[in-house]
Amino acid sequence: MRIIPAIDIIEGKCVRLTKGDYETKKIYNENPIEVAKQFQDSGIEYLHLVDLDGAKASKIVNYKVLETIASKTSLKIDFGGGLKSDDDLRIAFNSGAKQVTGGSIAVKNASIFQNWIDTYGSQRIILGADANNEKIAVNGWQEDSGLDLIPFIVNYQKKGIKYVICTDIAKDGMLEGASSDLYKRILTRIPDINLIASGGVSNVNDIHELNAIGCDGAIIGKAIYENKISLRELEQFIINN
């Protein structure tokens, strides 16, 4: 299982939110490249970079941060947050993203998202399946789409999607453990999807549990920044797995 630390960006700074609420913003570092280099120095290969300004603006905003991290580290970056147009996608890839994540766009404008899959291939386009009570949420998690989570993923798998980031919004930033039962149900129904768990990881035991379930990756955010999981522990997990 891949260890994928998260860096969320507001105004060029590394921040974390709780349950996607911008009012809960906490700044952890003024310089995201410092954080990214610490991850790389710990043997981590992947990074989940989220443009929270972009998510609010419905267009890419912090692409310069992406460009800096991509040019100054060897991290393989998946980038998301506000990607709504073909131009947004081109900017993200030109700025160094290896993969991009589309969430709201996959609900609101399925034809554009399908075109991204067809144009760039299923290795580069990730489906963002963010859910509250197993209903897909959109627009920075502020709106319930009414779509059921698992059928939503199944539908896009039929359209070529291979990678899915699934965030249980109720768990995000709470440090109360990941939604293991939910991920088990998804993988039982869709065993050949590359499922990336996101939200709630609070300690290294959660990581081992997600690995045992069969998740392709685990995105870890606040647990790192609040020193619930050390980079040394992540390094050991990578070495041993």
Q: Which of 47, 62, 59 is nearest to 10 (CA)?
A: 62
Is residue 78 among the annotated active site residues? no
Listed in sequence order, the residues at least 6 apart from 23 whose beta carbon sits closer than 8 Å to its beta carbon are none
The DSSP bridge pattern shows strands 217-220 and 46-51 to be unpaired
Residue ranges of E strands in the chain: 2-10, 13-18, 21-29, 46-51, 76-80, 99-102, 125-132, 135-138, 143-148, 163-168, 194-198, 217-220
HSE, side-chain direction, 13 A CA sphere, residue 205: 3
Is residue 172 among the annotated active site residues? no
Active-site annotation holder among 78, 130, 168, 206: 130
If phi over 0 gives left and psi between -120 and 50 gives alpha, with beta otherwise, what is residue 172? beta
The DSSP bridge pattern shows strands 135-138 and 125-132 to be antiparallel
Please give the positions annotated as active site. 8, 130
